[in-house]
Amino acid sequence: MPERLGPPRETPLFERVALVGLGLIGSSIARATRHLNLARSIVAVDASEAVVERVREIGIADEATTDVAAGVRDADLVILCVPVGVCGTVAEAMRPGLKPGCIVSDVGSVKASVIGQVQPHLPDGVSFVPAHPVAGTEHSGPDAGFATLFHNRWCILTPPEGMDETAIESVRAFWEAMGSNVEVMTAQHHDLVLAITSHVPHLIAYNIVGTAADLETVTQGEVIKFSAGGFRDFTRIAASDPTMWRDVFLHNREAVLEMLGRLNEDIALLARAIRWGEGDKLFDLFTRTRAIRRGIISSGQETPEPDFGRRREDKT
C-alpha cells in the first residue's frame, strides 16, 4: 500500500458503513475505508449476485448482500454508488432499513437530479449529504477499485438547504480522511461546472470515436493501427461505463445542452478561422488552452508524463 494514504485511525469515524453498488468507486471506498479504519464494519450491497460473490472472494467488506434494506440496516453512513438514474429506486427500496441518525450520501456526478430522486424517500431523522468525488478511471467492477483513487482529488458536497451541519462535517471528515480535498457548493452550480469539465468532454469523446468508427473511407483496422495520442485519449474516455454516462446526460440535460450550445458557437468561429487562414486567432486560442493544461498540472490534478499521469495505483 502506498505510504501516502497514511496510517489507520485509532478510532473509526463510523461504526457501520454500507456501500450500495460495488463498482470502481464503491470498491475503492471499501478498500480505503478498511485500510484507514474509517468504520468498524463495512457492508457491501449490490443487485448482482456475481458482484456480491466477488466482493466476498476478495474480502473488501465484512458483509455482502443483494438485499438493500437488510444491507443498510443499522448503518451510520450509507453511500449510494449506483448510476444516477436508479438512485430514487434504490432510496425507496432501502428506506425500511434506515435508522434515525443515519447519514445517506452518494457519489454521482449529477446532483440536482439525485437530490430530487432520493430526498423524498428518506424517513425523518435521516440526513442526506450528496457528494461527488471527482476521480475515476475507465475501468469498472469490484476488481477495478484501489484505495488511493481519491488521494489529492476533489470531492464536492452539495447538501440541500437546511441540512444538519454535523452530518455535513461527518461526510467532509470521511472524504478528507481518504485524501480528498473537499468543497461545498449548491447542486445547481455543481451541475453547471461539471457539464463543461466532465460531461461535455465525455460526449465529445464518444462522438469522435463513433465518427471514426463510421467512416466509410477509413477501415476500423486503420483507425486502431494509426491512432495518434489525441485519439487514444479520446478512446480512453469513450471506454467509460455506458450505463453511467447515459444516465448522466439524461439527468443533467439542461446544463449539458447549455454548454453544447456554447461549444457549437465556438466551433463555428474556429471553423471560420481555419477557412479564412486566420492564423493569429488559432495561435491565440492554442496559447490560452495550453495555459489551462499547465494550470491543471501545477495544481496537482495531473502530471506531465506522456501517459497523462494515469498510471494504475497499487490496488490493495
**Cβ(80)–Cβ(118) below 8 Å:** yes
315: confidence class by pLDDT, cuts 50, 70, 90: very low
Look up the domain containing 17 and give its range: 3-185
Distance of CA 258 to the CA centre of its chain: 21
If one compares 132 and 137, the residue with the highest pLDDT of the two is 132
Whether 32 maps to a domain, the answer reads yes
Whether 309 maps to a domain, the answer reads no
pLDDT value at 86 more than 90: yes
H or E segment and range at residue 290: helix 279-298
Same-domain check for residues 151 and 214: no
Specify the amino acid at residue 105: S
Same-domain check for residues 169 and 81: yes
Same-domain check for residues 69 and 152: yes
Across the strands, what pairs with 181? 154
Q: What is the pLDDT of residues 250-260, one digit of tens each?
A: 999 998 999 99
Same-domain check for residues 67 and 154: yes
Distance of CA 268 to the CA centre of its chain: 31
Whether 290 maps to a domain, the answer reads no
pLDDT at residue 309, as a whole number: 45
Same-domain check for residues 98 and 111: yes
Residue where a domain terminates, one of 185, 205, 228: 185
Q: Coil, strand or helix: which one is 51? A: helix
Same-domain check for residues 220 and 180: no
Same-domain check for residues 83 and 153: yes
In the block, cell 488559432 appears at 282
In the block, cell 438493500 appears at 68
pLDDT value at 183 more than 60: yes
Whether 107 maps to a domain, the answer reads yes
**Cβ(155)–Cβ(132) below 8 Å:** yes
The total number of structural domains in the chain stands at 2
H or E segment and range at residue 78: strand 77-80
CATH number at residue 49: 3.40.50.720
Whether 289 maps to a domain, the answer reads no
pLDDT at residue 316, as a whole number: 42
Residue where a domain terminates, one of 167, 185, 203: 185
Specify the amino acid at residue 264: N
Whether 133 maps to a domain, the answer reads yes
Same-domain check for residues 144 and 181: yes
47: confidence class by pLDDT, cuts 50, 70, 90: very high
Specify the amino acid at residue 202: H
Instruction: Specify the long-range contacts of residues 88-94, CB closer than 8 Å, at least 24 apart.
Output: 88/117, 88/118, 88/120, 88/121, 90/20, 91/117, 91/118, 91/121, 91/122, 92/121, 93/68, 93/69, 94/20, 94/68, 94/69
- How many other CB atoms are there within 10 angstroms of residue 87's CB atom? 26
Same-domain check for residues 178 and 193: no
Cα-trace Rg, the chain:
21
Cβ neighbours of residue 136 under 8 Å, at least 6 residues apart?
24, 25, 149, 240
Whether 301 maps to a domain, the answer reads no
Same-domain check for residues 152 and 16: yes
Same-domain check for residues 104 and 242: no
pLDDT value at 297 more than 80: no
pLDDT at residue 74, as a whole number: 97
Same-domain check for residues 210 and 250: yes
